[in-house]
Amino acid sequence: MAAYLDPEVISNDGKKMVFEFRGGAGEPTRQITYVFQQGNTVKKTREWVKDTVDELDDVRSVSSKPEFQIGQVVTRLNRTAAIRAAKEVWQEKLARYIAVKDAGISEAAVELAALLADLKATYQAGFLN
C-alpha cells in the first residue's frame, strides 16, 4: 500500500512554501508548492498537508494496480448517479406535500391526496428525524 510520509518544508519565502513529500514504500518524491492566502492558519495548512498526502497515496495506489500498467487496455465506464437514501426521497415528498397544501390550491386536491397516500405508504421510523 502506498504511504507518503509527512512532508518537509524545503522553501518558505513568506508568500509560499514548498513541501517535499517522500514515500515510505518506493513512491516517487514530490515537491508541491503551497501558496499562502488570506485567512491561512496553521490548522488549515496542516489540513491541506493531510489532504495532499491522502491524494498522493490514492494516486500511487491506483497507478500501481495491474490493470493500469503499460500495455493494458482500460475500458471505459459510464458514470452512475448516486443512489439517494429512502429518507431523503421521503423528506422531499413531504416538503412537496406541505408546499402544495400551504399554497391552498384547491385544484390540486387529487395530487395532494395521492402525495399523502404515498407518504403514509412509504414512511419508515426515523424519517422525521
For every residue of 67-78, which 3-state class applies, written as one string? Answer: HHCCCCCCCCCC
Query: Do residues 63 and 21 share a domain?
Result: yes
Enclosing domain of residue 102: 86-122
> Which distant-in-sequence residues (6+ apart) come within 8 Å of 90 by Cβ?
119, 122, 123, 124, 127
Query: Do residues 91 and 64 share a domain?
Result: no
Q: What is the per-residue pLDDT across 17-70, written as a single tens digit (0 to 9) for each?
A: 999 999 888 888 999 999 998 888 999 999 999 999 999 888 877 878 888 889
Residue 97 exposed, middle or buried by CB count within 10 Å (0-12, 13-18, 19+): middle
Do 112 and 101 meet the contact criterion of CB atoms below 8 Å apart?
Answer: yes
Distance CA 6, CA 41 (A): 18
Whether residue 129 is contained in a domain is answered as no
Whether residue 2 is contained in a domain is answered as no
Whether residue 77 is contained in a domain is answered as no
pLDDT at 65: 85
Q: What is the per-residue pLDDT across 84-114, written as a single tens digit (0 to 9) for each?
A: 899 999 999 999 899 888 888 878 888 889 9
Number of domains present in the structure of the chain: 2
DSSP string, 20-47: EE-BSSSPPPEEEEEE--TT--HHHHHH
Whether residue 31 is contained in a domain is answered as yes
Query: Do residues 42 and 90 share a domain?
Result: no
Query: Which three-class secondary structure state does DSSP give residue 13?
Result: coil
Look up cell 496553521; give the residue: 42
Predicted confidence band at 9 (pLDDT cuts at 50, 70, 90)? very high
Whether residue 110 is contained in a domain is answered as yes
Whether residue 127 is contained in a domain is answered as no
Query: Do residues 26 and 61 share a domain?
Result: yes
Whether residue 78 is contained in a domain is answered as no
Query: Do residues 95 and 64 share a domain?
Result: no
Query: What is the reported pTM?
Result: 0.52
Query: Do residues 20 and 64 share a domain?
Result: yes
Query: Do residues 61 and 112 share a domain?
Result: no
